[in-house]
Structure 1
């Protein structure tokens, strides 16, 4: 295939997946509102489960819910029947994903969730499926076609399911009044978290910094920079900070001239540190 043909094929895949999301958006109705209310009313955690590619999408949905103030755990449907069911309590709400809605492995978990009295929200491509009939709420994630030739791999359907999960998570955080400050508290390593949470005392150098007056010669500043590891504060007669000189400032100065030792510090200092 020629480069243009390859690009056109890529555009077709993206167009099909975009259309899948538009289709799912058009299918939203009262069931979606019911699902959001169930999630908002959960006293326990949100349990997300699915098998294969649906399971991978479920893991992402669980992560999004958790990071936006709704603690969620992914539960593998097979592992759930071999001890991991201990994760579930009757205060939880479950989100189960299956394109066909007829996965045998998932049905073992459905029965156990029913035994616990856990409400089930199904994200499925078949509203006539056993899973949809067993669920308390079934959301239509059906697509008209996959982007993959011969429907060999789930593509548009997994994109649609992921987008529907995002729709649930974002609507839920708005219903719960989740704020950016709360998001930052859960993401201390991210840019938003650092912007909101990082304090000067967290990054400042907690040691005494040497000082010089602005009219003192640079030869004195060079000595202090060497002795005190790189920073000199320049203060006026009242002790107020008027600038700083760093080892970097000295390096740049030496690149310009070698006649600097008699220069006053004020000509070298950074006035807006």
Structure 2
């Protein structure tokens, strides 16, 4: 029995990427048991349809994942489909980036959000649950301060391709300014070794929505002469508002909603 449990834990996060096997290196925890575990449909609610509504920005303003969908969301995030969906987004971004003719003046930039975009917090959510419990800022900050978040491999692949094409990268995150050092170290440890700017949320944006903060910072970038040729994030608040760039790319994230 112990051997079977070990094998299950060891393989839960082994994700197929083409013909290669790639593992996001972190501890794996069994999902907390719920009725309808792992199913696409539970009585009265299709979790698959709920996730589609989230990703298309038709389901908005939600606080937590529906309780009956926790296992569905957990299995989606820890399984093959999340990585496949992320790969489709990244591949489209690469095709778009390759089609561009850059000015070669150092002003073409690509924006990346950090959490669930450049870096993955799956180790945290696998331990604490997939969005059914209200957001716990104390526990999440503790995780962030450990600086152990792995890269989302598809985003890292895009990042490397952009650098090879001569595009500069700007990270624009909702993390607060007092997390700059740990964020810098975590990004570098995960494989993001260079960037043009790392923008964190300063105290002047306290209490303001992410959409307002990110729109304002993108406007500042463009006013200083940068051209935002691409913009990738996991939340619609990363991609809506003003000065969003020439093209946006939405990564999947049915775990939480940021307005």
TM-score bracket, normalised by the shorter chain, equals 0.3 to 0.5
Determine which structure has greater relative contact order: mean sequence separation of CA pairs < 8 Å that are 6+ residues apart, divided by chain length.
2
Q: Report the structure number with the largest CA radius of gyration.
A: 1
- Output the TM-score relative to the length of structure 2: 0.34
Instruction: Pick the structure with more helix per residue.
Output: 1
